Structures are given as structure tokens and as C-alpha cells.
A and B are shown apart, each in its own frame.
Chain A
Amino acid sequence: MGSGRWSTDVYSAAENYRAATGRSAFAYSDGGARKVHPSLDPRGVTVRESRDSDEHPRSTPIAVLFDVTGSMGTVPRVLQTKLPQLLGLLLRKGYVTDPQILFGAVGDATCDRVPLQVGQYESDNRMDDHLANIVLEGGGGGQRHESYELAMYFLARHTDTDAARHGRRGYVFLIGDELPYDTVKAKEVRRVIGDPLTENIPVEAIVAELRRRHEVYYLLPQGSYYAGDQDILRRRGQLLGENVLQLDDLGAVCETIALTIGLNEGTVGLDEGLADLADVGSAAGATVGKALAPLSRAVARRGRTVRAALPRPGSAGSGSVRL
């Protein structure tokens, strides 16, 4: 029976529908699009820039790219609903200064029509529009490989960040369940990105090049086809060492990314970070703790570069993390 409980205000309704349009799961993809959206097309792009400004004097570039091929099942859709919360979480926790987030997607250049999609570094909710324009191809080659090496090539050679100028690294998170191909193929680079490359590049070389200016992490989510595949974990470990994380609960993807950055920046310890999560009512603590325990030990082992500590915000979290 009625209560008239839900607001019938025309302006807030318009706002809600606008927000839902931005959030509506891959609106561009669901509209039947099978071509890369112009805003995400890597072809002919000089650089994706992450710049300091008066408003954001110490920008930290964070790139999050995920696999959109068939083996990922429903994972890409879940990521699309969760990832818009990443910026707010980072800002609230103060784990990192002035985050600027770039979203992108990885396919298979040997057979997909949309093998690479890369948005811009954004410091406001425009990043959500890039997310909504990602095409979910659902293809892939069925051979446990996707073109992560092509994505890494693009991020290594087509990003320009003020953070790097100040000797600070950005972050790259690759979310997926398969392996990169062994070489960056010149032919694919010419076709997809447009660089006049003539020689293939071994994947180890491109990883090393990317790691000069970015911390690179691999996240292997549960719910994907190859989740927990030991070969894939081992091969990734060879490439990225302890920066390979298994994610039991996809719902905790933003918390995992945020805490990974916090641990690396030295702005938070693992126990403290998990307590922070509990403070804001997040149920992701167990998952995140399990995913990050090895990394936390590794960070402790290798020591951290000394940084000026950031002021920590009060632990009274305003609002709550939505899970």
C-alpha cells in the first residue's frame, strides 16, 4: 500500500537517469556497437596525458585495463558497475595524491575487431563515460592468450605524465585471466596503434620499459574461465614477481586496487588498511587481505623509498563503500 515514499521530484529524477545512463552497463556496446568508440581508439593517438594543475598539484596516473574477451564471462560487466567507485574511494582514504584514472580494455589482436580500447586520464567522473563506451567483444582466441603486450606497449610509449617528470611512478592494473603473447608484433602495432614499427619486441622488454614509469599489477579474478590456473599464475609471476594478485571476490576490486596503491605509496599498512575498510563498513576485508598478504610481505622485505608522509584523513569515514 502506498506511502508516496519515493521522491517524485522531476529534477532529481532527471539527475538519476543521467547518472544511470553514464552507468548503464556498456551502453555503447549494448547498442550493438562492434567498432571501437572514437574516444577510446588508440589508433593515431600521440599520447594520453596526466597533468598537474593548480587543483591537482601532485597528480598520480592510474590506468586500469581489463580483458573483455569471452573467457571472462560476466566479469567485465561487474567491473563496469564497481570501478566507478574507485576514484571516490581513493579520494576518501587519502592513500594517494590527486588520482587521475584511465580506463581501458584488452582483446585479442590476432582475431578481435576491437583488440585495444584506451580512455583518457581523468580526475572526475568523465572516466565513467569511457567505461560506458567500452565494447564488450566477448571474442578472444581460446588459446589462453590476449594482447596484454599490445596494451603495455601503448602505455609505455603513448602516455605522458607529470608524475614521471617529478620522478614519481604511476600505476597500471591489468585485470584478466590469460597471458600476454610472447612478443609485441610490429604488424599489430602498425594496424591497431599506427606506429611505424618494423621489429617485434619481446614481452619481457616491453614490461621492463613500462615498469620504468609505472608500477604494474596483474589481477586474476574469480569467476573468469582460467581463474586459479597455475600455469598462468607462474608465467605472470615470472614477468611481474609479487605484483600478481588473485581476487576472490570481484566486488572488492576497488578496495584491492586502492589498498595496493596505499601499500606501495607507504601511506597505509595492510592491517591498518583492512581496519580502514572495516571502518567504512566494507565486507571486502577478508578478500583483500588474502589477495594482498604476499604483496605486503614483499613490500616489507624490499623496503620502501622514503617519502614525505601524507596527512592521513580522520578514520571516521564519511559515507560507506558500496559493495
Chain B
Amino acid sequence: MSHTIVVDLGYGDAGKGRVVDLLCAGSDVTAVVRFNGGAQAAHNVVLPDGRHHTFAQFGSGTFRGVPTHLSRFVVIDPLALAAEAAHLAALGVPSPFELLTIEEGALLATPWHRAANQARERRRGADRHGSCGLGVGETVGYALAHPDAPRVGDVRDPVRLRQRLAAVHDRLTASVGPLQAPDLDDVVRVFTAFGDVVRIVDSRHLDGLLRAGPCVFEGAQGVLLDEWFGWHPHTTWSTTTFSNAQALLGSAPARRLGVVRTYTTRHGAGPFVTADPALDALPEPHNGAGEWQGTFRRGHFDAVAHRYAVEVCGGVDALAVTHLDAPALVPSLGLCTSYDTGAGRTSRIPIGRRGDLPGQERLTTILRATTPAEVHRPDDWAGAIGDLLGAPVVLGTDAPSGPAALRSGPPHSGAARRTPERPAAPRSRAPGGRRGPHRRRRAAERCAAIGE
């Protein structure tokens, strides 16, 4: 089996965690690789026995004993990482840090980045971007301006670490004003302790993983929040398409799997054409209103926007559709296939030039004034979504710990790679493979045919 890249074709929250967990439960996955975002990811996995974890910097295959590799494209937050590892240990994952490797080139998010991010969002008042308040974007912006931005590899060199952290503190204080953050000494100490515990590796580590067996690349956020193609400025400082993963893969082929819900959701500010308060009846156990992101909104399946996401990505080979139980809960829920922009009807959002942020901002203005034109309810949701987005649906799930079903779709004519049918058949692992003290559990999932 080749590798799989999992991205969210919406605004995040589609269920990537669930999908990655199922992929890891159903076959022998070598590692889950993160290729964008940082600690603001929140991928919920609920096991059949009720255990629940919100995966932020650990990959969503952790419950299955699958190691996580955080690549150089991930922004690392050592403080949030410690809290997350402690929770995983409390849930019975024997040694969470043993399952983790981090590439030395990854940027470090610091408490000053976080404080500066929150101070800036407060000043925007009503014009908030919908940031998560964790300073991921601030960290990326700082690194673009300052080549000496602290990176994971620096924690092994106490002198350089202290210099670089002090520079973050000084520059951000100069730009934003006094920051609510812990002392430099405390941060140096805890970042050093982080370096003593986690395995920091160079770029060759990933090559070894890719050779060892199938890897699952777990995307964060969603394509509609992409830094270049999202509705600027309500975007994330991260490339949310397949491109980072493809850069990491080099010439190794991978199946591109897009994830959507049967309806569209959005956290935080920004245009959301199909938003409909009537859909608020749909349960959302794990996404409340964040202090920084604003409320969680629900809307009809926005086929126009999700198709735009597919085009921006350069196509997908297969789809996973989650929350297949939602249509039965809300009879008014439907698929939106065209927009009314005030200047006429359209079923396609044009793709701009990469890097043309003023163009993306004009798009944001248009979308704010746009309303759904056609909304209909299909009989076969998974089939209809596959047809609208032009790729076979190979995985369908309903409620977070409910049943999942796999089905093989017909080969998608546009797919340049082998037809995905189901996650790989289990490979036997060579004895002595570093698997740690984990026993893999098959997902005890009741498989039912979907959409039949």
C-alpha cells in the first residue's frame, strides 16, 4: 500500500481525527506524519469504550500505537505538548513521548508569540480574524521576518536557545507592548526539559519511515482556511492543501484523501455562505465557542466551496464522508450546489493567482454578500457528495464513535494513481521493529453498508 494524505476540504472540523484513527486501526501504519499547523489542531477521537482525546500535536493514530512524526512544517508548542502527553498517559497510552519524533527544523511557538497574538486580536475588536489564540500564526510571521527564530533543534544548545528566546521577547515587546508571559528563565528551563524528553531527529528520519511502510499524512485545519487560497484575512498561517505533504514525500506516490462532513461547519469569523441557524440542532460535543475563535456555526453542505477546495488542491483521489447520521436528524439539511452573489448565479468560485492576497480579500467581500441559490436533499448523501466533488467515497462514518463503513468506489476517471479500495491489507511487521509496548487493537466497528 502506498501512503495516504488526509486533508479537510472545508474550514476544519470535518473529522480528520476519526478518519486517521480508522485508517490506523484497519491496517499496519508505520507512522502518522503531521505536515502543517501546530498546537491549534484539535482532532477528536472517541474510542468504542468511551475514551476521548483531542489530538493537537500527537497524531490521531496514537490510540492504535502508531508513532507520530512532526515534520519541519509543524509549529511546535512544548507547553501544550506536555499537557497533551499527560492526558494521553492518563488514558492509558503507556509512554506517549516514546511514540513521538520531531524534526529539528520545526519552529517553536513561545509564550511571547501567544501573548502577542492575543494582544493583537484584542485590538482588532469586532474585526477579529478568528484566530485560535495560540500564537501559531505569530510564530510563522516572526520567522519570516527573523532568520534567528527559535527552532526545535535549538533546545539542545542552551546558549543559543536563551539568545533566541530573549530576542523573541524583546522584539515582540517592542512591537506590541508589555506581554503577559512567564519569565525567560522558566521558559528556557522548560524548553530544555522538553529537549531532554522528546526525540529530535533530522530530515533523514522521515525518509526511513517512508521506506519502512505506509505512512498517513494527517493535515490540520482545512483547505478553505489556506493561507493563500482561503477567504483572506480569515485564514490560517499554514498551507492546508496537499503541497507540504507532497514536498515531504518527494517522489513517493500517495493517495490523496479529502474529508468532508455531510454538512459544512465553521469556527470563528469569516464568510460562510450556507450558514443556517436552523441547523444548530445538530449535536457538537467537542466544538464549543472558543474565547478566541468565536462561535461554532453550522451550514448546508456547501458543494460550491468544497469543489473550490478540490480544485485548489489539484484534485483528490478519494473522499471520506463523516456525520452520515446528520441528515436524518435535521430534515431541512440539504446540499447547496449554486450561489446567488447579488450579481447573478454561479456554481463555481474562480481560483486566483497564488499570492494575490488583495484578490482573495475581494473574494471575501463578494462571499459576505452571497446567499445559497439551490439547496436540495439527495436520497444517497455519500453518492451525491462523491458526484459533486468528482471522486469516489471510500469511507463513511456516522456519529463520533458510531459505525464506520468502507466501500470501494468506481475508479475516478481523474485519478492519476491506483484506485483506492480500502486501507492496506495488514503487513506483517519484521520482528524487532520499533513498535514500543503497544498491542494493536482492531477497531471493533460494526461495518454496515452505507447509502445502499
Contact = CB atoms under 8 A, between A and B. Distances in A.
B35 interface: no
Interface string B240-281: 000000000000000000000000000100000000000000
Contact of A13 (B89, B90, B136, B190): B190
Contacts, number: 126
Contacts of A19: 86
Interface string A72-88: 00100110011000000
Interface string B97-119: 11000000000000100100000
Interface stretch (A21-29, A50-58, A177-185): A21-29
A18 interface: yes
Given A4-B40, A4-B292, A12 B221 contact: no
B98 A14 contact: no
Interface string B67-92: 00000000001111111111101101
A19 B197 CA distance: 10
A16 B85 contact: yes
A4 B134 contact: yes
B94 A78 contact: yes
A21 B193 contact: yes
A217 B77 CA distance: 46
Nearest to A8: B79
Nearest to A18: B193
A316 interface: no
A17 B190 contact: yes
Contacts of A23: 95
A20 B95 CA distance: 8
Contact of B187 (A4, A6, A10, A16): A10
Given A1-B132, A2-B293, A4-B290, A25 B85 contact: no
A8 B197 contact: no
A8 B114 contact: yes
Interface string A33-68: 000000000000000000000000000000000000
Contacts of A199: none
Interface residues of A, number: 30
Contacts of B78: 13
Given A7-B83, A74-B437, A14 B193 contact: yes
B269 to A, nearest CB: 13
A323 interface: yes
A13 B83 contact: yes
A19 B95 CA distance: 11
A297 interface: no
Contacts of B77: 8
Most buried by B among A7, A13, A74: A13
Contacts of B288: 3
Interface in B112-158: 114, 132-134, 136
B95 A10 contact: no
B51 to A, nearest CB: 11
B190 A6 contact: no
A6 B83 contact: yes
Contacts of B98: 24-25
Contact of A20 (B114, B197, B222, B436): B197
B12 A10 contact: no
Contacts of B293: 1-3
B197 A17 contact: yes
Interface string B173-216: 00000000010001101100110110000000000000000000
B174 to A, nearest CB: 22
A23 B306 CA distance: 45
A322 B90 contact: yes
A24 B95 contact: yes
B39 interface: yes
A296 B182 CA distance: 56
A16 B221 contact: no
B287 A1 contact: yes
A13 B132 CA distance: 20
Contacts of A24: 95, 97-98, 197
Contacts of A12: 82-83
A1 B190 contact: no
Contacts of B134: 2, 4, 8
Given A1-B41, A4-B290, A8-B114, 7 more contacts: A1-B13, A1-B267, A2-B39, A2-B292, A7-B80, A10-B187, A19-B86
Interface of A: 1-14, 16-21, 23-25, 74, 77-78, 81-82, 322-323
6 contacts: A8-B80, A16-B83, A16-B85, A17-B196, A24-B97, A24-B197
Interface of B: 11-13, 39-42, 54, 56, 77-87, 89-90, 92, 94-95, 97-98, 111, 114, 132-134, 136, 182, 186-187, 189-190, 193-194, 196-197, 221-222, 267, 287-288, 290-293, 435-437
7 pairs of A and B residues whose beta carbons are closest in the complex:
A2-B132, A2-B40, A1-B12, A17-B193, A16-B82, A13-B82, A78-B437
